[in-house]
Structure 1
Amino acid sequence: MRGALTVPAPRKYPLELRERAVRMSRASEPKPVIRRMAEELGVHHEALRNWIRDRARYYAEGADRGASTALQVADRFHLWKNLEEAAERLVRRLRSQWAPPAPEKPEANAERSEGLRAQRTRERHAAVHALMDKGLRHSDIVRRTRPGPQDRP
């Protein structure tokens, strides 16, 4: 990239903590369980595993010989994992501040919102039942309530 300035990303854990964790791991006999040691130090177990691996004698020598001035960057998995954990912490912290959505207001004219055709059908239904209550025959009710051209789609 032309004219781009690259700046190392801020570290999640201080270098002193990393070095202390590696020293503790090397000095322990028998070797500690990484998950338990990570919990004690308050770090993610994969981060601790990488620190120990990367500072192992052979890895360190190879890295020093091959690229003595190179800066190690996180791989894609750990970048996504850190982003996920940060998002979860943020959501947990802010969840209590979120307001529930406002209740929907009922429409003033509910019949109007369902459409003209549905409104006419409801009116026709009421008319049929009113005529049935008067004792009219089925054929007479059909003649009186037959849909007109305005009711056809």
Structure 2
Amino acid sequence: MYRWLWLSLGVVLLDQLSKQLVESSLMVYETIPVLPFFNLTLAYNEGAAFSFLSDQGGWQRWFFALVAAVVVVVLVVWLARLRDERVLAVSLSLVIGGAVGNLLDRLFIGHVIDFLDFFYQSYHWPAFNVADMAITLGVVLMFVDALFGPGREAD
């Protein structure tokens, strides 16, 4: 099912292009209000999700890059072994594309570029990017496929 890797490539391209556009348009932590609950805000994340381990002095860059690279290899092998499982193939391809998008940031610039800032009053969700959206959607699709996909008996 390597044919689904085009979706991964599309995610990587959209992710990298959007990050470059935002980074070339904004200063770090500069905000552009878009909607009453959404801003574009350039932020750099040296850690993992929710800035986990971002203050650890640099070793985490290589640790998270290695973890992402291993995950991508495992998911590509899994994808190659699929037969007619389209939803699972799409979900794996989305996660692969998102992981590669953030991996490229870590390898080439040392941090992940985030810019999508959703909030309610003074409560902000941590900023994220297109790669993060692809990973999240891919994982959700995996759960949907596991719970309701073909071959699952209805209770």
Instruction: Give the TM-score, by structure 2 length.
Output: 0.27
Q: Which has the higher strand share?
A: 2
Q: Which has the higher helix share?
A: 1
TM-score (structure 1 length as normaliser): 0.27
Q: Which has more radius of gyration?
A: 1
Greater relative contact order (Cα < 8 A, sep 6+): 2
